Amino acid sequence: MNKKSNIFSIFYLLAMGAVLGGLLLTFEPKKEVVQRSLLEHQIEAFLDKEAFALRGSSRSNFIAHLLATAKDHEFDPLLILAIMKVESSFKLHAVSHAGALGLLQLKPIAAKEVSNVFDLAPVSARQLMDPFINVRFGIHYLSFLRKSVGKNWMRILAAYNAGPTFIKRTSVIPTGYASKVMRTYREIIKQVKST
């Protein structure tokens, strides 16, 4: 290489550096536009009618969390809403006489089982009152029940209500609770789809 081509190469690299540097200084990443799905809007309207306590961004984040967690475990989020309605009438801090807690009325023993099976950090009874934790553990528990008692929804819901050990031991599945949840599920589908 001769001296002229070396000088040209240096000037070329300096010029390219200046151009690229100028581009980098003026580059603005596009702001991500988060668009909510139609289902998110429909669930928002439904929860508003149900006087759900979370408002604003907390409610939006809760709905997104519900949808993502339900999808991860291949559950219809509207079915999860039906269980919530039957269990707690959407009261965040509901406590049953049997010690079940929160939106999905989980007992601490069920949460402990979920922690063990899914290798999740254990949670306290107080933490189960957090709607985000309650939904995550509740959906995990439903997933555990599906593996434990089979994929039949009447069995899964009966196990959710009466416990998987009882359902495994009995030949006659109690259907009252499961029927109530499925009836509520059909009603929610109609309400949500009509908004």
Residues with active-site annotation:
87
- The CA-CA-CA angle for residues 75, 111, 72, to 5°, reads 25
CB atoms within 10 A of CB 121: 6
SS3 97: coil
Q: What is the DSSP letter of 127?
A: G
SS3 52: coil
Among candidate residues 77, 11, 8, the one with its CA nearest the CA of residue 46: 77
Give φ, ψ of 95 to 5 degrees.
-135, 125
d(CA 154, CA 131): 25
- The CA-CA-CA angle for residues 34, 38, 41, to 5°, reads 80
Residues whose CB is less than 8 angstroms from the CB of residue 121 and which lie 6 or more positions away in sequence, other chains included: 115
d(CA 190, CA 122): 37
d(CA 131, CA 92): 6
